[in-house]
């Protein structure tokens, strides 16, 4: 049996070693994807993917984002009533998968073409697509308005990448746009339609939210680990502290204690959310609206809290390390930039509203691309 956790820790150590330099260089993550591929981590089984995502995210949140979404796209394929197509997606364990399905950007159009389709249009965000082997794409049929999800070679004729991703954080996620110009799609590569009222397919949106939550937890863990290392070895005690080292200052100890407690709580909530989603998927055709709602709220709770923990941790660590830790050579700001960028994926206040509505009135979260 493969030790996925040990393997992830080995890859994380390599990523951590030059994370600051790679973040600063801001180059497409082709070498990093090749590292994931050569390590064998792309084939991790579903029982290990959450842990792997967190471990890699702690070392490099961008690469954690890439592998987390890779696992997500393979996982969500099982939600369609097309096991043969889902199985084909796993046929080559070396394929790196990305997706093109931004819910707020319904710009892709499918035109029936014999036994398949032709797809045209542009998507603004497509995390990892430009360095992927295969893509999972959602587009709308021009003849009847049905939304279909299909797979396609990321380097197929007619696909181009504007390379327009240059954001504050998550710089190595290759999250720029993608253009489809008369791209041919084979009918056998269609996973299926996505009816807006399908309770089972609606779980895909919850999977996305859970993946983001796991990355939040990883970012906080990575920031805390590196800050602790600096505090032990380089931080100086304040002149009025009465102690000989920063790591024995009672205020710093209490500060780290609060952050550690919050991180452990966020990780526990994320694990609970993962278990809930797994149970909802396992329910199959027996999945009820109430079970789905409970899972959605559990995941939202984990995301609300992990958002707070990621942003707080990546800010507070500087108070415990001191002013010298803001030197650019250390690159500790990357944790804050990554957390601040990623936690803006969709407004977390709406997740809190869904939790409150479910708690007070029993209202179920709506089926959207984000809930």
Tens digit of pLDDT for each residue in 308-325?
Answer: 999 999 999 999 999 999
Query: In this predicted structure, what is the pLDDT of residue 152?
Result: 97
From the number of C-beta atoms within 10 Å of its C-beta (0-12, 13-18, 19+), residue 37 rates as middle
Least confident piece of the model among 50-54, 103-107, 227-231:
103-107
38-66 per-residue burial string, b: 16 or more CB within 10 A, e: under 16: eeebbebeeebbbbbbbbbbbbbbbbbbb
User: Both tokens of residue 117?
Assistant: 């389709």
Is 105's pLDDT higher than 70?
A: no
Inter-axis angle of helices 4-17 and 49-59, nearest 10: 10
More confident: 307 or 2? 307
Mean pLDDT score, 173-181: 96
Is 275's pLDDT higher than 90?
A: yes
What is the pLDDT confidence band of residue 169, given thresholds at 50, 70 and 90? very high
Is 53's pLDDT higher than 70?
A: yes
Q: What is the pTM for the complete model shown?
A: 0.96
Mean pLDDT score, 147-151: 95
Inter-axis angle of helices 333-342 and 289-321, nearest 10: 160
Query: In this predicted structure, what is the pLDDT of residue 156?
Result: 97
Least confident piece of the model among 44-58, 89-103, 175-189, 345-359:
89-103
Query: In this predicted structure, what is the pLDDT of residue 101?
Result: 83
- If one counts every other C-beta atom within 10 angstroms of the C-beta of residue 266, the result is 25
Query: In this predicted structure, what is the pLDDT of residue 196?
Result: 84
Mean pLDDT score, 276-300: 97
Query: In this predicted structure, what is the pLDDT of residue 253?
Result: 96
Is 103's pLDDT higher than 80?
A: no
Mean pLDDT score, 219-226: 98
Among 309, 277, 125, residue whose Cα is nearest residue 211: 277
Query: In this predicted structure, what is the pLDDT of residue 5?
Result: 97
Is 181's pLDDT higher than 70?
A: yes
Is 39's pLDDT higher than 80?
A: yes
Residue located via tokens 């709220």? 297
Contacts for 191 with CB less than 8 Å, ≥ 6 apart: 77, 80, 82, 85, 86, 136, 148, 149, 150, 151
């Amino acid at each position: 049996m493969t030790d996925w956790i040990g393997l992830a820790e080995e890859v994380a150590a390599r990523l951590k070693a030059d994370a600051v330099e790679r973040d600063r260089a801001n180059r497409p993550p082709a070498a990093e994807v090749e590292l994931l591929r050569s390590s064998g981590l792309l084939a991790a089984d579903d029982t290990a993917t959450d842990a792997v995502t967190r471990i890699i995210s702690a070392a490099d949140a961008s690469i954690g984002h890439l592998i987390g979404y890779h696992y997500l796209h393979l996982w969500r394929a099982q939600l369609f009533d097309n096991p043969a197509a889902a199985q084909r997606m796993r046929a080559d364990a070396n394929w790196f998968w990305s997706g093109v399905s931004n819910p707020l950007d319904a710009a892709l159009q499918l035109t029936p073409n014999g036994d398949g389709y032709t797809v045209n249009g542009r998507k603004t965000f497509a995390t990892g697509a430009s360095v992927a082997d295969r893509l999972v794409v959602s587009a709308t049929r021009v003849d009847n308005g049905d939304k279909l999800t299909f797979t396609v070679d990321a380097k197929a004729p007619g696909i181009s990448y504007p390379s327009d991703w240059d954001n504050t954080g998550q710089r190595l996620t290759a999250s720029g746009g993608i253009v489809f110009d008369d791209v041919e799609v084979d009918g056998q590569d269609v996973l299926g339609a996505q009816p807006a009222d399908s309770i089972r397919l609606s779980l895909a949106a919850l999977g996305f939210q859970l993946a983001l939550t796991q990355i939040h937890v990883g970012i906080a863990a990575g920031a805390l680990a590196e800050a602790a290392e600096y505090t032990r070895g380089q931080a100086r005690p304040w002149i009025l502290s009465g102690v000989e080292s920063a790591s024995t200052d009672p205020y710093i100890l209490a500060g780290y204690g609060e952050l550690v407690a919050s991180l452990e709580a966020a990780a526990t909530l994320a694990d609970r959310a993962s278990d809930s989603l797994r149970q909802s998927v396992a329910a199959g055709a027996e999945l009820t609206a109430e079970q789905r709602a409970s899972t959605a709220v559990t995941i939202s709770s984990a995301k609300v809290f992990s958002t707070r923990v990621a942003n707080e941790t990546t800010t507070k660590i500087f108070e415990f390390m001191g002013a010298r830790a803001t030197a650019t050579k250390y690159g500790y700001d990357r944790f804050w930039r990554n957390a601040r960028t990623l936690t803006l994926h969709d407004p977390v206040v709406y997740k809190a509203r869904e939790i409150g509505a479910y708690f007070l009135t029993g209202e179920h979260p709506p089926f959207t691309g984000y809930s």
